[in-house]
């Protein structure tokens, strides 16, 4: 990690003039003009990263005045419509600005003695948190569909998980039940339905009965998802049922409610699907998540498929969490820059609404408000094994499918596919970004 720029003076030195600090930062933003264009872009990216980390260091040191000055400088050199560096900085500046505003509101509360004023300020602060982090539900749903189209990450996860589920089901199996946590639009399941129908035709065995229990927080959206899946299943001649299950991200309530809410029929094979879900059940410790996993294990699923971000955004130390987030989203924004046109509206929306929301939660939210608590594969492996699960190696055919997906739909040399610990990792350049694994 590059060294930070220390703007705070020691007790035995004279206080530094704020304008001299601002000039120093401005000089860092604008590197020497003699650099080549490629070298200039790389140098600018390094400098902007250093300034973002310096700003986070100032926040960690509670030097909010200096942090505000540096944010002003960075804001003048960033834009949601610029190159990937400028767009990334813009999102992190939004998050840091919110964090500073929250600290300022908390400091104001300490100075107030009048109860009604305190109540008003608390209400404003809470509302600000909710409005800043929680985007309109319809916008998030639209962004999810765009994310599924313009990046390979979701489709790679769905494709690999589907193949693991398909291979766990024996030919001639009479009934399959998939428990899908946070099913969203259900875009993962039509390809699996097609695969089941094709395998049935090839084996001359009747297709299995397929039931999907999809969880979510919006009952109407769950019903619409079920209706779409039912219509698609009917075109394939598949017997299909969909069961909506309202479930929030509280691991304790989910663990207690799940056994009674899920009905398993005799001779029914259960598969559990957790696509980018488990990290939202983490809190400051793993006790609640382990309770949830023990309840899943008690259901005796044939396979549990898991996709997660390959990042450490749950670190208790703010600065380490911030640096990890900067490097993770730098790779994501670079991949979008390299594979989409500059005027792509879908990319702009995904960056601002989907990834922007994640960045705000990682940087500015605390406690139960911070749900984007991504962990690396090693952490998930340790948690899952200690909860009684064993890793199921992903097949060579799954690998060939993932490679074909990238070659046909996302033909960029920047996307890299790796196999480690019997699991798949998809990343950009030399940085892994997503992992998919299968467990029993």
User: Would the pLDDT of 253 be above 50?
Assistant: yes
Distances (CA, A) of 422 to 361, 419, 431: 31, 6, 18
Asked whether 196 and 164 are in contact (CB, 8 A), the reply is no
* Residue 40: per-residue pLDDT: 52
On whether the CB atoms of residues 426 and 417 are closer than 8 A, the answer is yes
pLDDT greater than 50 at residue 11: no
3-state helix, strand, coil in the chain (%, to 5): 60, 15, 30
Closest CA to 374 of 325, 430, 306, 431: 325
Cα 434 → chain centroid: 9
Query: Is residue 411 helix, strand or coil?
Result: coil
Q: Which tokens sit at 299?
A: 């259901």
> Mean pLDDT, the chain, as a whole number?
85
Look at residue 45 and tell me whether its pLDDT is greater than 80. yes
Buried b (16+ CB within 10 A) or exposed e, 318-344: bbebbbbbbebbbbbbbbbbebeeeeb
Which residues on neighbouring strands pair with residue 241, listed in sequence order?
Answer: 211
Alpha helices in 169-249 (DSSP H): 189-203, 219-236
For 184: left if phi > 0, alpha if psi spans -120 to 50, otherwise beta; the answer is left
Please identify which residue in the block is written with the tokens 């109540």: 119
What is the pTM (predicted TM-score) of this model?
Answer: 0.86
Q: What does the pLDDT look like over 324-346, one tens digit per residue?
A: 999 999 999 999 999 898 889 99
pLDDT band at 39 (very low <50, low <70, confident <90, very high): low
Kind and range of the H or E run holding 143:
helix 137-150
> 307 in helix, strand or coil?
strand
Residue carrying the six token digits 């009905």: 263
Site of tokens 């909710």: 130
Predicted confidence (pLDDT) per residue in 275-327, tens digit: 999 999 998 888 889 999 999 999 999 999 999 999 999 999 999 999 999 99
């Amino acid at each position: 990690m590059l060294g930070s720029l220390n703007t705070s003076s020691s007790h035995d030195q004279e206080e530094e003039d704020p304008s001299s600090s601002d000039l120093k930062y401005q000089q860092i933003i604008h590197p020497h003009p003699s650099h080549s264009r490629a070298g200039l872009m790389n140098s600018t990216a390094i400098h902007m990263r250093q300034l973002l980390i310096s700003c986070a260091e100032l926040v960690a040191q509670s030097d909010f005045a200096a942090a505000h000055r540096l944010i002003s400088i960075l804001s003048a050199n960033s834009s949601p419509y610029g190159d990937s560096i400028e767009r990334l900085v813009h999102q992190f500046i939004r998050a840091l600005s919110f964090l500073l505003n929250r600290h300022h509101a908390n400091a104001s509360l300490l100075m107030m003695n009048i109860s009604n004023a305190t109540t008003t300020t608390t209400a404003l602060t809470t509302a600000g948190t909710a409005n800043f982090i929680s985007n309109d539900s319809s916008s998030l749903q639209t962004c999810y569909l765009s994310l599924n189209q313009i990046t390979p990450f979701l489709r790679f996860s769905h494709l690999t998980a589907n193949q693991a589920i398909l291979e766990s089901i024996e030919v001639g199996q009479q009934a399959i039940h998939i428990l899908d946590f946070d099913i969203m639009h259900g875009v993962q399941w039509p390809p699996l339905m097609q695969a089941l129908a094709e395998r049935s035709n090839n084996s001359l065995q009747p297709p299995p009965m397929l039931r999907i229990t999809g969880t979510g927080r919006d009952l109407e959206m769950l019903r619409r998802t079920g209706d779409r899946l039912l219509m698609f299943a009917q075109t394939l001649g598949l017997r299909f049922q969909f069961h909506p299950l309202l479930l929030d991200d509280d691991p304790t309530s989910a663990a207690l409610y799940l056994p009674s809410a899920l009905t398993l029929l005799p001779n029914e094979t259960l598969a559990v699907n957790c696509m980018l879900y488990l990290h939202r059940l983490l809190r400051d410790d793993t006790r609640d998540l382990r309770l949830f996993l023990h309840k899943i294990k008690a259901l005796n699923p044939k396979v549990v498929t898991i996709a997660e971000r390959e990042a450490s955004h749950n670190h208790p130390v703010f600065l380490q969490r911030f640096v990890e987030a900067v490097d993770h989203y730098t790779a994501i924004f670079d991949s979008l820059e390299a594979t989409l046109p500059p005027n792509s509206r879908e990319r702009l929306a995904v960056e601002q609404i989907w990834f922007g929301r994640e960045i705000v939660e990682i940087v500015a939210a605390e406690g139960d408000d911070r749900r984007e608590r991504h962990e690396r594969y090693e952490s998930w492996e340790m948690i899952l094994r200690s909860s009684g699960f064993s890793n199921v190696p992903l097949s060579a055919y799954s690998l060939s499918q993932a490679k074909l997906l990238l070659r046909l739909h996302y033909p960029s040399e920047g996307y890299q596919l790796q196999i480690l610990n019997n699991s798949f990792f998809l990343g950009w350049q030399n940085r892994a970004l997503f992992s998919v694994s299968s467990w029993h």
